[in-house]
Amino acid sequence: MPILTRAVGWRDTKHVSFCGIETRGSSRCLLAFNGQNPLIQVSGRLGGVPLIERHGDEGSGLFPLAESERLLQCCCMSKTDFDIHYTAKLARLELSPEEEETFGRQIAQVIDYVEQLQQLDVSGIEPTAHPVDLSNVTRSDITGPSLTNEEALSNAPAKANGLFMVPKIVE
Task: Report the C-alpha gap between 102 and 86 in whole angstroms.
Answer: 15
Tell me which stretch binds other proteins (CB under 8 A): 10-18, 20-28, 65-73, 161-169. Answer: 161-169
CB-based burial, 101-110: b 16+ in 10 Å, e otherwise: eebbeeebbe
Among 122, 141, 161, 162, binds other proteins (CB under 8 A): 122
Sign of CA dihedral 138, 144, 150, 151: negative
SS3 of residue 31 by DSSP: strand
129 binds other proteins (CB under 8 A): yes
* Residue from 1, 66, 160, 169 in contact with other proteins (CB under 8 A): 169
Helix (H) or strand (E) holding 89: helix 84-90
Question: Which of 43, 54, 76, 101 is close enough to bind other proteins by CB under 8 A?
Answer: 43
Please tell me whether residue 131 binds other proteins under the rule CB under 8 A. Answer: yes
Work out whether 170 is an interface residue with other proteins (CB under 8 A).
no
Pairing of strands 45-46, 49-50: antiparallel
Cβ 100 vs Cβ 91: under 8 Å: no
Our finding on whether 141 is near other proteins (CB under 8 A) is: no
CB of residue 1 to other proteins, shortest distance in Å: 26
**Which span (3-11, 20-28, 54-62, 153-161) binds other proteins, by CB under 8 A?**
153-161
Q: Are 58 and 44 in contact (CB under 8 A)?
A: no
Q: Does 10 bind other proteins (CB under 8 A)?
A: no
Residue 93 C-beta: closest distance to other proteins, Å: 5
Q: Which residues bind other proteins (CB under 8 A)?
A: 43-45, 47-48, 50, 82, 84, 87-96, 99, 103, 106-107, 109-111, 113-118, 120, 122, 125-132, 134, 137, 139, 147, 151-152, 154-158, 164, 166-167, 169
